Amino acid sequence: MRVLGIESSCDDTAAAVYDSSSGLLSSVVSSQVPVHSLYGGVVPELASREHIRSIVPIIERALADAGSGREDIDGVAVTAGPGLIGSLLVGLCFAKSLAYSWGKPLYGADHLEAHIFSIFLESEVEFPFLALLVSGGHTSLFRVSGWEEVSFLGGTLDDAAGEAVDKAAKLLGLGYPGGAAIDRIAQEGDPGRFAFPRAWLAPGSADFSFSGLKTSLRVFLSTPEGKGSRVEDIAASFQEAVVDVLVGKTLQAAKREGVLRVVLAGGVSANTRLRSRVGEDGNRDGIAVYLPSSSLCTDNAAMVALLGERRLSTGRASGPDLNAYAASRFSR
């Protein structure tokens, strides 16, 4: 089965083609960073307008790169939520019309599930595994026991880790989006130079909190020490506080669940320090760690096409009443 995947949940317009026997045939992502960087964050209305502009050329390119025409496509998958509702609706309405006019089945994919299963584009992972989804909008832990069995263990009570690094980058004057900039500059700094707070919460809790850490950075930067210190050391120390909590809580949860495999997903899992720390600490604890390559950590449609292929192959097509949803469907 060959599936066209479409993703437009936030500020990337993406399309990809995945084939059951040949694997990923194409993956195209159009970023809106230049549009939103003027404002220091994603402006929802502008994001929707950019999706409208990009969606046709991006899909045409994904089909051309895959050497596929409409006759080769057996189904269409699209991100239905969670995300920015206007952005989601652009992709969803387009995918619905395409599937209807081509006479193909449609699957409405959950963005979080698509991230979680993106590892299967590159590796086979045995079930069950623990997944840490860490992005601009989400920081959550899941126990994944099968393609249909994803259970939520905990998530952030306030900011997502990506939101925290993006805000830190803004405070440090590193521009938008800041995650990759913090990652780069932190490589020249000392991660032990400043002790920023780590929110471990109650013992055994799989929840996260990053808003206090963000505030402590803002307060620190207003002190004489903060003003006089190297930005590299501040970035490295801030990033270390985020990484310590992400790695510590993920491995603790894996041990508690008796699961010896951990998968990372989402934009922040592209972070160099997080990748090396989770690998080293996992190794020490006898836990195998699986990391998607960086281009599959951030938003893409390859993960949507793959999930669509799995679900459509098992007869799980969505009906014509498929609608977009803004909030996560996962909760305790």
- The binding site for ligand KG4 (CB under 6 A) comprises 10, 135-137, 162, 165-166, 177-180, 183, 266-268, 270-271, 298-299
Per CB under 5 A, 299 contacts Zn ion: yes
Tell me which of ligand KG4, Zn ion, none is bound by residue 166, counting a contact when its beta carbon lies within the kind-specific cut-off of 5 to 8 angstroms.
Answer: ligand KG4
Q: How far is the CB of 126 from Zn ion (least distance, A)?
A: 25
Question: Contact region for Zn ion (CB under 5 A) — 14-22, 140-148, 177-185, 291-299?
Answer: 291-299
Q: How far is the CB of 104 from ligand KG4 (least distance, A)?
A: 27
Compare residues 10 and 301 and give the one whose CB is closer to ligand KG4.
Answer: 10
135 binding Zn ion? (CB under 5 A): yes
Taking the C-alpha atoms of residue 238 and residue 182, their distance in angstroms, rounded to an integer, is 9
- Phi/psi for 14 (5° steps) reads -140, 150
CA 305 – CA 150 distance, rounded (Å): 18
- Least distance to ligand KG4 from the beta carbon of 66, Å? 22
Q: Which of Zn ion, ligand KG4, none lies near 26, with the C-beta cut-off 5 to 8 A by kind? A: none
- Give the closest residue to 290 by CA, choosing from 124, 94, 141, 161: 124
Task: Mention every residue, 6+ apart, whose C-beta is less than 8 A from residue 203.
Answer: none
Q: Applying CB under 5 A, does 300 fall inside the site for Zn ion?
A: no
Q: Which is nearer to Zn ion, 35 or 221 (CB)?
A: 35
Alpha-helical runs (H) found in the chain: 33-37, 44-65, 85-102, 111-117, 161-171, 179-186, 211-221, 224-228, 231-257, 272-284, 294-297, 302-313
CB of 201 to ligand KG4, least distance (A): 22
Instruction: Give the residues lining the site for Zn ion (CB under 5 A).
Output: 135, 299
